[in-house]
Structure 1
Amino acid sequence: MTVAAVWQHRFVRLALGILGAQILFWGTLFLIGETEKEHLNMKSWEVGEIYVHPLPGLDPDFGARDEAHRQTFPVEPGDCYRGYHSPAYQISFDVKGDEYVNWALYLPWVSDNFETYVNGRLIATPRGQFSLTPSREERRPFLIGIPRDLMEPGTNRVDLVVTRSGCVPYVQTVYFGPLEPFKAYESHMVLLGHYVPIITAVAGGLVALVALCLLPISGYSPLFASLAAFMAALALRAFAYVWAGNGIEFTTFFMVVYLIHYLCLATAAYFIQAWTGQPRHHTRWFAAIFAVFAAVFAAVWWPGGEVYALVTQVLNPVSLLLVSGYTIWSLWRMAPSRPGEAGRAIVLMSLFLSSELYDALIPIFGVRRFIDAAYYLPIVLIAAVAGHLAVRGYRLYRDLAVQVAEKEVEIRASYARLQEQENLNAIHTERQRLIRDMHDGIGGQLVSLMLQLKGKAVPQERVHQQVQAAVDDLRLIIDSMDSVGDSLDIALAIFRDRMQPRLKAAGIRFVFENRLDGEVQGFRPQEILHIYRILQEGMTNILKYAGAKTVRLEIEAGDDAETIRLRLSDDGVGFDVEARPETEGGRGLNHMHKRARTLGGELTVTAAPGLGTVLTLTVKRP
């Protein structure tokens, strides 16, 4: 089998991915935890042989040391249970130094209150109090400078008296050396032990907040609900690492921390169930299981039972196996449909398993902890989830952009087809309109003239008038067709040019005034023709009946911004509007009103004998 063929095998790539992730994760943690220590040569300052024994009170015993109490760091906590008051323990060791160097003791991990003695003299009570019921502040490193006058040439004796509520005091290690290097290392450890969990808590809280904001948008998707719960639990877990409460017994704090830990595991199972699409009742099962764990924990803790061994040797391994097994099973079932996502999740799950195994095995086998993986794994999980959401969001955006582009092409094509169809419909409608207008207008006039000529002799003047009316009507139809795309004032200017020769021949002065601020566009040809015919009918009545000297055509804005007013007036003889006879002129006014209503406008006629006539057409802007 070739190398390429081996690489194509899914399990080979998965194994290499897991191996690479483990090397990267643990290598980075080792560099973070050990590089600064090696740089400052901290290993050479570490205290080796120590003597540990309980005290009857708080006062140290500076007598001879018992070889039976000799051991090395760390000093393990032993049994822990509520209400237990451990005796104070004395940790004694020798260091070598002189009075010419600023010496110091560095305690990277010490439980609760302690006192420090050098050559039998008290030099430090860090929190200003010391009793058998101390406060809980165990995750803070302490740097204790030793006054020069206390140091003697050669061997010096150092004694630590430590107390703890609920457990035997726990001391990981002690360093003795020059003060200045320890200051740099203390800053490094404060950064890792204090600010990294804060960053984790803030990052988890932000991701949870984003998921909550997306929850209504997603239609209250279980995936976003589970993600918000999981990230919030991780943020709470990170916050617990830097929280210190005065007066809280260690076993109580221990219980709270591990209840939060079980909450993280339960929400992790919830997130896996929602992400992989497993049945929802699986989440209820895990909620019930971890509720039982919490009840067992509380039942043992409350009457003062041993909780440390219960948690580290029973509940933690069982919960780890349950969540890990369920995650692997769910990812295995998801793999056929979503192999890429399942592979990446298994690689991430391997980091979780190795981190949890590391933290679980430390107390069981007493292995020395070089770094607390629980500080950093949530950052990796949060970063991985945020990265997955970002990649998924980008892919959704990319797919959406492609779909939008495709739909845009379809819409453009549909719009082009629709526009083409509308053009065809417009041509057909215009053709039908022209046929109807020519039939009703020119056709009717010519047929009427033809019938009159067949019956009897018709005066030449009447023949001339009817032929002129037919010609004018034809010109109006042509002008309305030519006005497509033009503004209304241009269409009226064309009408003025058509009518002015006839008025001039009749000795009538024609005045045209446009009072609009700008052009008014959008009237269809049929609407322009209706306006033409209303004005033409008015002009015909003026020529036939008014005996006017001057005719005015005015266009202006209406009473509101939505209307336009056209006014045709003359200074002729006028007439009584109320007593209007049913003559040809009266029928013409009725036709004018009908055309105005067809336009959606209004036509008013103002006239009086001897005062001329005013036609006012008000129409809406297109």
Structure 2
Amino acid sequence: MRPNRVSLVMSWLAMLLMGLAGLFGACGVSAASAAEAPIELRQGTVTTTVDGVTRTEPVELSYHWDRQHNGRPGTASFDLPFTLEAEPETPWGIFIPRVGNVFEVQLNDALLQTYGDMKRNNDADYAKAPIYVPVPGKLLRKGDNLLQIRLHADTARLAGLSQVVVGPAASVRNELFESANAWRFTGSVLLMAFSLIVGGIALALWLTQLDVDANGMPRRVAIYFWAALAEFFWAVRMADGLVAEPPLSWGPWGVLMAACYAGWAAASMMFVYHLAGWANERRHRWVRWPVAGVVVGTVLFSALSLQRDEPAWFTAWLAVELVFVAAFVGAFALATLRHPNDDRLLMAGAALVTVAFAARDWLVVRLSDAYGETTWVRYSSVFFGAVLLLIVLRRFRAAAVQARGSVAALAERVAQRERELAATYAELEAAAQVQARTHERERILREMHDGVGSHISSAIRQLQSGQSSSGDLLRTLRDSLDQLKLQIDSIHLPPGDVGALLAAARYRLEPRLASSGIEFEWAVDEVEPVEGLDAHGMRQLQFLLFESISNVLRHAEATVLRFEAGMKGKTVQLRVIDNGKGFDTTRVMPRSLAERSGAIGARLTVESRPGRTVVQLEFD
């Protein structure tokens, strides 16, 4: 029995020892965990210097510089003590959600990091993004530690210091800093990129899409322009959150950023103004002036606020601006309820949410003592921009569908008109052919009447007078027959072919000349076609030649008749030469020759003396 009791006692002792070891181990782990837990620093002391006056007083973070000092510039030094139960075994870090404008961080009298130049005013601003400062090993010690943050504050620049967290790097950096950085810094990058994309799409549509106004004149669609302008203003405003060291000093840069914010609001209101159809109503056009006043007033009051170091001026103006924007959005919401459609309902919802967020930002950021709060409008702007993009794309799609329908209708109308024109053209072509044939008949009859008819009339008169010899009557009848043959030949002559015309005249008249005892000489070289000498001109030239030869047969008493033709440079030269008795050209000039040569654009020259008469024609 004793061995059993001894064994039992030993077992109980072992269990007791194990329990104590577990208890001490747990205590050790708790102590270590306590030593490794993040610490939030809220209380300490602050020493400020404003307008040459230095004060030291207790402080409880967060500390809003503009609320504490009415926006006056100055410097502050925060002493934030904390106690560690043991020296940390893992790397630690410091997380500051918001601090600025420029500052430096010291731990236990060791400088950890400097952000900006503490001696320069209105320069850099590091309050735009959360700060993480790693703590070098062995710098923290068991017991009392002191974190010191010295900052320089500029006027109306949201300077101050939020709560500070010190703790293990794994939790402080990975859990606190990265989350805050994603919301503020990375979020600003994404918002800027989104606004640039939306603005680029709207600008491309504004540059490429045209509408027709009431007067039928093409114009660009204004709603696309205001959408692009609003998003570009907001992209610049978001870019400010990424620039710790702006290219301008705080005064001009602050006015520029305020103007971008106001420009975004004004351009968004103008987008709504066109979306509601107010731009087409004369009674609503006055709204454009107060919208422009939003931008002008923002520039003036922001410059006044910064110049006088009194942020209250700008805060008051923002209140006036917020009231006007709220009234504008309210009027648009009421108009939407009276005449609802999808685009207006979406925009009214986005605008109301944005106005509500803007009111919250004005109360929290501009009036309250809370420091480190971020604006909500930057996030509602995503919803607003998405709605704006949706409306722009829907408008473009509707315009494209309408344009396709208009193009199809126009194409059908054009096709119908082409069919009508083709039918009309066919009718006109047929009528023109009939008319051409009629004109040709009339011409032939007229020329036969003027030429052959006149010769036959002359023959009849000769017979009736009884005074003409049979030879004269025979010449008249032969002239009539020759002219009739030449008229028939002229129908088949190519336009402008002077050589062919001369050959036809030779063929018809050479037997007549031979029977009259006149020797015919042919000296015709190859000549180029005469441009502009159409069928009518060819007939006029034929009549001219025939009249020249007829004059030789009747009056010249010649024994030789010569045809000459050739090129003189680019000029076609044609001559009819005889060796008759000639005539005085100053007193006797065949009038018909001059009229016919002028009608066909030829230059006529007549030279005559006993034994040689030359009738010359030149065509360019």
Match of 2:301 in 1: 298
1:261 aligns to 2:261 (yes or no): yes
Match of 1:575 in 2: 582
- Contact 1:442 1:470 (8 Å CA) reproduced: yes
Please, what is the CA RMSD of the aligned residues? 5.5
1:598 aligns to 2:599 (yes or no): yes
3-state SS, counterpart of residue 236 of structure 2: helix
3-state SS, counterpart of residue 593 of structure 1: helix
Q: Distance in 1 between matches of 2:75 and 2:271?
A: 45
1:536 aligns to 2:552 (yes or no): no
Seen in structure 2, the aligned counterparts of structure 1 residues 458 and 157 have a Cα distance that, compared at 3 Å, is: farther
- Contact 1:81 1:307 (8 Å CA) reproduced: no
- Contact 2:354 2:377 (8 Å CA) reproduced: no
- Contact 1:90 1:161 (8 Å CA) reproduced: yes
Q: Distance in 2 between matches of 1:444 and 1:362?
A: 110
Segments of 5+ residues of structure 1 without an aligned counterpart are: 1-45, 59-64, 336-341, 559-563
* Correspondence for 1:56 among 47, 64, 67: 47
Q: Distance in 1 between matches of 2:165 and 2:96?
A: 5
Higher-Rg structure is 2
Q: Distance in 2 between matches of 1:157 and 1:177?
A: 18
- Contact 2:582 2:609 (8 Å CA) reproduced: yes
Counterpart code for 1:323: F
1:128 aligns to 2:117 (yes or no): yes
Counterpart code for 2:42: Y
The number of residues matched between the two structures is: 539
1:591: how far off?
Answer: 0.9
Seen in structure 2, the aligned counterparts of structure 1 residues 200 and 133 have a Cα distance that, compared at 3 Å, is: closer
Seen in structure 2, the aligned counterparts of structure 1 residues 542 and 454 have a Cα distance that, compared at 3 Å, is: closer
Seen in structure 2, the aligned counterparts of structure 1 residues 395 and 615 have a Cα distance that, compared at 3 Å, is: farther
Seen in structure 2, the aligned counterparts of structure 1 residues 356 and 129 have a Cα distance that, compared at 3 Å, is: same
* Correspondence for 1:547 among 546, 559, 563: 559
1:613: how far off?
Answer: 0.7
Match of 1:373 in 2: 379
1:552: how far off?
Answer: 1.5
Q: Distance in 2 between matches of 1:607 and 1:377?
A: 103
3-state SS, counterpart of residue 57 of structure 1: strand
* Correspondence for 1:436 among 443, 446, 460: 446
1:319: how far off?
Answer: 3.2
The 5-angstrom pairing of residues 235-384 of structure 1 reads 235-243=232-240, 244=246, 247-248=249-250, 257-273=257-273, 276=277, 277-280=279-282, 282-288=284-290, 291=293, 298=301, 301=305, 304=310, 306=312, 310=316, 314-315=319-320, 317-328=322-333, 343-344=342-343, 346-348=345-347, 350-362=349-361, 364=363, 372-373=378-379, 376=382, 380=386
Q: Distance in 1 between matches of 2:617 and 2:310?
A: 102
Seen in structure 2, the aligned counterparts of structure 1 residues 131 and 611 have a Cα distance that, compared at 3 Å, is: closer
Seen in structure 2, the aligned counterparts of structure 1 residues 168 and 368 have a Cα distance that, compared at 3 Å, is: closer
Alpha-carbon displacement from aligned partner over 1:461-506 (angstroms, at most 9, x marks no partner): 54454344334433444444445xx4412x6415523433522663
Match of 1:4 in 2: none
Q: Distance in 2 between matches of 1:323 and 1:512?
A: 95
Seen in structure 2, the aligned counterparts of structure 1 residues 265 and 199 have a Cα distance that, compared at 3 Å, is: closer
1:193 aligns to 2:188 (yes or no): yes
The 5-angstrom pairing of residues 449-488 of structure 1 reads 449-456=459-466, 461-483=471-493, 486-488=494-496
3-state SS, counterpart of residue 115 of structure 2: coil
1:89: how far off?
Answer: 6.9
Match of 2:522 in 1: 510
1:84 aligns to 2:56 (yes or no): no
Q: Distance in 2 between matches of 1:206 and 1:334?
A: 28
3-state SS, counterpart of residue 129 of structure 1: coil
3-state SS, counterpart of residue 56 of structure 1: strand
Alpha-carbon displacement from aligned partner over 1:327-378 (angstroms, at most 9, x marks no partner): 446667887xxxxxx6335435544444454454356478866893377578
1:615: how far off?
Answer: 1.5
Alpha-carbon displacement from aligned partner over 1:362-407 (angstroms, at most 9, x marks no partner): 5647886689337757865885687578657756864368537734
Q: TM-score, normalised by structure 1?
A: 0.66
Range 460-469 or range 223-232, more displaced: 223-232
Q: Distance in 2 between matches of 1:323 and 1:392?
A: 27
1:117 aligns to 2:106 (yes or no): yes
- Contact 1:115 1:130 (8 Å CA) reproduced: no
Segments of 5+ residues of structure 2 without an aligned counterpart are: 1-36, 50-56, 241-245, 365-369
Counterpart code for 2:105: T
- Contact 1:207 1:231 (8 Å CA) reproduced: yes
1:126: how far off?
Answer: 1.7
Q: TM-score, normalised by structure 2?
A: 0.66
Q: Distance in 1 between matches of 2:417 and 2:79?
A: 82
Q: Distance in 1 between matches of 2:258 and 2:483?
A: 97
Alpha-carbon displacement from aligned partner over 1:191-218 (angstroms, at most 9, x marks no partner): 7535864885698599779969999998
- Contact 2:231 2:385 (8 Å CA) reproduced: no
Q: Distance in 1 between matches of 2:613 and 2:179?
A: 107
Q: Distance in 1 between matches of 2:449 and 2:297?
A: 97
Q: Distance in 2 between matches of 1:91 and 1:400?
A: 75
3-state SS, counterpart of residue 84 of structure 1: coil
- Contact 1:269 1:327 (8 Å CA) reproduced: no
1:122: how far off?
Answer: 1.9
Q: Distance in 2 between matches of 1:422 and 1:52?
A: 107
1:124: how far off?
Answer: 0.8
Q: Distance in 1 between matches of 2:381 and 2:490?
A: 83
